[in-house]
């Protein structure tokens, strides 16, 4: 597998991870405000909570995501004369994954999402968790 293809694949995976984090936030909001069954997706919400905590910890520590580190290690191995650092689509996906803004804004947004996700999980837990809490009270 070429380094370029591997690096481009990492950008796509990174984009999907970011999309999952943002979609989880949106779905949780919908579930809370519209009382939909979205709140009952135990595994989705649990993986989302774990993921946002991990991302938040990386952000607070000022560390890069492992996907970013891996991609940055692969990029220098790609031909320097390429017009884009990857394919046309990857070139534009990278602008979404790595926006040119102050990292403090990204950290603030990540921490805000993390706090919201944690509070939503505690205040409106999935039904599977509610059932366990009821069993312990009985």
Note the pTM of the prediction, 2 decimals.
Answer: 0.67
Averaged pLDDT for residues 117-123: 85
**What is the spatial distance between Cα 17 and Cα 14, in angstroms, rounded to a whole number?**
5
Per residue in 1-29, pLDDT tens? 688 788 888 888 888 998 898 888 888 88
**Which of 25, 85, 81, 79 is CA-nearest to residue 52?**
25
Q: Which of 33-37, 122-126, 131-135 has the highest mean pLDDT?
A: 122-126
């Amino acid at each position: 597998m070429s380094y370029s293809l591997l690096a481009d694949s990492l950008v796509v995976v990174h984009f999907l991870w970011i999309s999952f984090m943002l979609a989880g936030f949106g779905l949780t909001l919908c579930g809370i405000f519209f009382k939909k069954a979205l709140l009952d997706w135990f595994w989705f919400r649990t993986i989302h909570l774990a993921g946002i905590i991990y991302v938040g910890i990386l952000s607070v520590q000022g560390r890069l995501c492992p996907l970013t580190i891996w991609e940055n290690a692969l990029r220098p191995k790609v031909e320097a004369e390429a017009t884009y650092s990857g394919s046309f689509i990857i070139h534009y996906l990278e602008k979404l994954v790595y926006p040119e803004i102050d990292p403090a804004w990204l950290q603030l947004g990540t921490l805000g999402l993390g706090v919201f996700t944690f509070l939503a999980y505690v205040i409106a837990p999935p039904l599977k968790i509610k059932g366990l809490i009821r069993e312990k009270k009985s």
